[in-house]
Amino acid sequence: MSNLLKSTFSEKETIQLNKKRVLFAFASLILFTLISGLLCDPNNSECMRNMGSIHLIFLLLHAIFCGMLYKSISKNITISFLMAILIIVLSWFAFGIGTVLLTVYIIVKANTKLKTIE
């Protein structure tokens, strides 16, 4: 039964796959923020609510992928969960600069881990 739950990917492949997910989710979050800022009228409250909801979905997706990447790096589920929550909390401060910095930190840590595996 335990063999069914194990991943068929190696540790290196798992980190690379999760890194691609994080970069895709982060790029989607940035692009959506820029596009919604251009398309949505600030005076239209319904448009702002809809864009805010979609932005939250992208943010949650990004946080989940960052948590998955950190778990594949550190093998600690508690810290990876805290990283995902930290990304969500930091998105509300200073226009999301905390999210950007934490994402860059996780990507750099993943690259360092990949170099030690090779």
Per-residue pLDDT of the chain (118 residues; tens, 9 = 90+): 445 545 677 888 888 888 999 999 999 988 888 888 788 877 888 887 888 888 888 889 999 998 888 988 888 889 889 988 988 888 887 667 888 888 899 999 999 988 888 7
pLDDT at position 12 is 84
pLDDT at position 90 is 84
pLDDT at position 55 is 84
pTM: 0.80
Residue 48 burial class via C-beta count within 10 angstroms: exposed 0-12, middle 13-18, buried 19 and up:
middle
pLDDT at position 1 is 43
Helices (H), the chain: 2-5, 11-39, 45-74, 77-90, 97-117
How many C-beta atoms surround the C-beta of residue 25 within 10 A? Answer: 20
Query: Can you tell me the distance from the alpha carbon of 98 to that of 90, in angstroms, rounded to the nearest whole number?
Result: 5
Structure tokens belonging to residue 36:
């919604």
